[in-house]
Chains A and B, each alone.
Chain A
C-alpha cells in the first residue's frame, strides 16, 4: 500500500508541471497584464509604467518568465502578489481556513443527511415519504446553488433569523470559544445549506439507487429465505456492497473542497479563497493566480488518492499491488 501511495505521489509531479505550464501560458496569452489599469490612469506617466514593467518582469517573454517562476518555486519562493506586496502563500493561508471550514461543514451536512435519507427512501420504496424525498432531491439538483444563496439571503434579511453573509459577527474578537462556535454555526447555516443542498440530493439519489439494486440481488433473497434477521441482511450485507460507488464520489468531493464554493463564497461574503482568487484573476495578479491553481490541482490529486485508498479499505476485493 505504501509503495502504491509513493508511486502515485511521484507520478503527480509531471501532472503538476503540465498544469503549471498550461496555466502560465494561457494566462500569458490573455490580452494585457496587471499594469493595464495604470496605463489608463492620466496621473501615471509612461516612464512609471515602464519601470513597473521591468520590476514585475513583464518585459521578458512568457517562457523566460515561466522558467524564472519555476526555478523560484523549486527554491520554495512562490512569488509576491503584485497587488498586496506580500508572499502569495501568506495570502492563501489566511483564507484557506475559512474555505476549508465551510467545505467541511457542507460535506458533513450533505453526507450526514444524504446517506440515511437515501437508505430510508430505498427501504420505503414508492411510499409517500419516498416520493416526497425524491421531489425535494430533484428540487435540490435543479436549483443552481448561487440562486438558492440569493433566495436565502433575501429570506435572512426579511426575517432577521440569520445574518446577512459573513463568517463571524463584528464583535467576534470579544467572544469566548463557546460563543465563537455558536456564532460560527449561526453564520454557516446559510452557505452550508445552500451549497450542500444539491450535493445532498445527489448523494441521496445515488444511495437510494445503489441500495435498491443490492436489495434485488439474489444473495439478499437467499439470506432472507435462510431466515437471517432483516437488519443484518440490510445493514451488514446489502449496505456494504451499495456504499462502494459513494466512496468514489466522496473522494472526488474532497478535491472540490477548495474550489467548489467560489460562487457561494462570493454571494455570502465568506472570507475564503474564492473571493481572493476571483479578484486575482480580474486584476491579472499572475503569481497569486498560479499559486491558487497549483493548490487546487494538488487537492485534486490528493482527493483522488484518498478515494482509492478508502475503496481499498472498504472493499476486500480491491488490492493495489505493484511488483
Chain B
C-alpha cells in the first residue's frame, strides 16, 4: 500500500507538470506513463480459441476475458504480476476511518469511448445494479462478496467520490473491488431495464460496444480475427503528451493451435508468441538470425499436485492417506528433476508449497523443507511410520495389508499423464503398486465434487497473487477441500469417520483470520505460517511449476512480460509500440 501511494504521489507530481505544460485546455486528470514510443501501426497477436462473448459480466474463460479486459477499465490498475500499480479510473483512494472500506476519488474529465462523460455515477450504478446482483453476472458476485458471502455496500458521496465498505475489515477487498470493471450507465441502464442484459454485448453486438479501456473491438469475424481500434478518449499519455495507446490497431488472429501460431510467428505474420517448452529451443536457436527476443517471463500461477483422498472408497487406504508421514514419504519419492526435463524441456522449477514464487506472499523458507528425490529417505520415513516390506519387496502397512492404489488424472493432458507415469515408476521403487488410470475430465470433476470416487490423482488448480483466492480449497468446509471433504459438503464422507489433523485446523484458522488482517506485514506472516504448515502436513504434494515463456519480434518495444493472468505482454498495451 505504501508503495502504491508513493507511486501515486510521483504520478500526481507528473500530472502537475503535464497540466501546466501540455493539456491546459482540458480538465482531464491524465495518467502519465514513462514510455517513449512511436504513434501508429498495428500489433498482430493471436488467439487459440475465439472469444465467447464481449460482455465482461458473463465472460468466463480467458479467450473472452483477455479481450473484455482491454475494453473496460477498473478502479485500480494492476501490473505485470497482478500487483497493485496505482489508480486507474480512480485517481486515488483512502481507507475509511473504521478500516473496513475505501473512499475512491474518480478522475475528473474521464470520457467513455463515445465521448459521454464517465463519472462516479457510472461507478456507483455498475456496482449497485450489476455486481451486487448475482443474476446479473456470472461469478463476479462471488468474487466481491466477503468471506461470509455478504456483498459490500456502496454510497456516492459526490460527483467524484464513491465509498465502498464491508461489514468488517476485509483484507482482499481493495484488490477485488478495484479489479472489477465499470460500465457506461447511459448504455447499460436501458438494456437492463428491458431485461436484455444477458444477451447484450454478445459477439453480434460489435457496434454497441462503449468502453473505457485503451482499445475497443471494431470487427469480429468468427474463427478468423478480432480487430480492436484505439479509444480516442483513453486517459493515459506519455511524457511527450501523446495520447496512448501508441498502436492504432490490435488484431487477434485466430489460429487452431499453438503449432500453427508458431508457423505464423516464424513467417512474420505475428508479433508475439507464448511458446510451450517443447517449442522453445527451436525458437531460441533462430532468435538472433531472425531478430526475435526469446525469453522467460517467470513462474506462473498454475500448479501440479498429487492429492490423496482421505475418504477413499477403499477403506484401508484411508488409514495410509491420513498419515502425514506416508504422504511425506511419497513426496520424497517424486523425481521432480526428471519431470522438469521430460515434461518441460528443463523450462520449469520444482514447486514445494501452495503459493507460487510469482506471488508477493511467497515465502522462500518453504525451499528449506524441500522433499528432494531420495528413495532411501523415503523408505526411512515409511519404516519410521510402521510400514515394512514383504518377501517380494512390496510395501505393507502395520496391519499386514499391501499398499496399492489407483492414480488418475484427466485423459488427454499429456503433461499430467507423463507426470503420473513417472510417479508410477518411482513409487514402484519404494514397493508400492500404483495403477495409472486416466479418465475423462468431466468424470474426474464428478468424482471430485459429487461422488468422492477416487483414490489418488494428479491435478492442477490455478491460483493468484493473493493466497486468499485458495480459500475455498484450504478451509476445511470449503467446496474444494476435496482431499478431506467435510461431511456437510460431501455426502460420501462418513461423519463418524471424519478426522482433521492439527495442521489442517491451523490452516483453516489462518484462512478465517487473514481476511480481517489489514496490516500487510502481519498478513504476510500468516501466509508464511500457512505455507510452512501446508508443506509439513502435505495434504497435497506439489510437484513442478512451468515457467511462462515468450517470443516476440525485436522491433516490438515497450513490452514487460510478467506472470499476470492476462496475456503477458498486453497488460501494458498502452505502452507498446513498433520501432
Contacts and interface: CB of A to CB of B under 8 A. Distances in A.
Interface in A8-63: 30-33, 36-48, 51-52
Contacts of A43: 139, 142-143, 469, 472
Contacts of A276: 222-223
Given A84-B202, A173-B219, A32 B255 contact: no
A48 B58 contact: no
Contacts of A90: 204
Contacts of A85: 52-53, 55, 58, 198-199, 202
Given A86-B199, A167-B224, A40 B461 contact: yes
A36 B445 contact: yes
A283 B481 CA distance: 25
Given A43-B139, A85-B199, A153 B260 contact: yes
Contacts of B171: none
Nearest to A91: B222
B394 interface: no
A170 B223 contact: no
A153 B263 contact: yes
A43 B253 CA distance: 30
Contacts of A266: 256-257
Nearest to B139: A44
Given A32-B442, A32-B443, A48-B139, A164 B256 contact: no
Interface in A295-316: none
Contacts, number: 137
A269 B442 contact: no
Interface string A260-302: 0000001111111001100100001000000000000000000
Interface stretch (B111-119, B232-240, B264-272, B568-576): B264-272
A39 B202 CA distance: 24
Contacts of A269: 223, 254-256, 260
A30 B440 CA distance: 10
Contacts of A38: 60, 139
Nearest to A154: B263
Interface in A129-167: 153-154, 156-157, 160, 164-167
Contacts of B251: 170
Contacts of B443: 31-32
A139 B142 CA distance: 58
Given A31-B443, A165-B255, A40 B223 contact: no
Nearest to A265: B256
Q: Give the interface size bracket for A toward B.
A: 35 or more
Interface string B113-148: 000000000000000000000110011011100000
A38 to B, nearest CB: 7
A168 interface: yes
Contacts of A167: 224
B221 A164 contact: no
Nearest to B461: A42
A39 B253 CA distance: 31
Given A30-B442, A51-B135, A84-B52, A40 B142 contact: no
A36 B441 contact: yes
A275 B256 contact: yes
A272 B253 CA distance: 15
B470 A42 contact: yes
Contacts of B260: 153, 164-165, 267, 269
Contacts of A125: none
Interface in A64-116: 80, 83-86, 90-91, 94-95, 98
B142 A39 contact: no
Contact of A41 (B44, B139, B149): B139
Contacts of A160: 267
A225 B352 CA distance: 90
B134 A48 contact: yes
A135 to B, nearest CB: 30
- Candidate in A42, A84, A90, A268 with the most chain B CB atoms within 10 angstroms: A42
B49 interface: yes
A271 B254 CA distance: 9
Interface string B138-179: 110111000001000000000000000000000000000000
A166 B221 CA distance: 11
A258 B61 CA distance: 28
Contacts of B44: 170
A27 to B, nearest CB: 11
A157 B442 contact: no
B222 A164 contact: no
Contacts of A51: 134-135
A165 B52 contact: no
B458 to A, nearest CB: 14
Interface in B193-239: 198-199, 202-204, 219, 221-225
A272 B223 contact: yes
Contacts of B472: 42-43, 45
B480 A86 contact: no
B449 A39 contact: yes
A42 B440 CA distance: 20
Nearest to A268: B256
Given A32-B443, A36-B442, A84-B202, A168 B139 contact: no
A275 B223 contact: yes
Nearest to A44: B139
Contacts of A42: 461, 463, 469-473, 480
Contacts of B446: 31-32, 36
A84 B203 contact: yes
Interface string B427-468: 000000000000011110110110000000000010100000
B223 A86 contact: no
A279 B49 contact: yes
B189 interface: no
A92 B68 CA distance: 23
A84 B53 contact: yes
B248 interface: no
Contact of B269 (A39, A83, A164): A164
A157 B142 contact: no
A202 B469 CA distance: 58
B534 to A, nearest CB: 15
A97 to B, nearest CB: 10
Contacts of A164: 260, 263-264, 267, 269
Interface in B397-434: none
B536 interface: no
A93 to B, nearest CB: 10
Nearest to A33: B442
B517 interface: no
A100 B45 CA distance: 28
10 contacts: A31-B443, A39-B448, A40-B445, A86-B203, A94-B222, A165-B264, A166-B253, A168-B224, A269-B223, A276-B223
- Give the 10 A-B CB pairs with smallest separation, nearest first: A32-B442, A271-B223, A36-B445, A157-B263, A269-B256, A31-B443, A83-B52, A42-B472, A44-B139, A45-B142
Given A31-B440, A31-B442, A85-B198, 20 more contacts: A32-B441, A36-B442, A37-B61, A38-B139, A40-B445, A42-B470, A47-B142, A48-B134, A48-B142, A51-B135, A86-B199, A86-B202, A86-B203, A90-B204, A91-B222, A153-B263, A157-B266, A168-B224, A268-B256, A275-B223
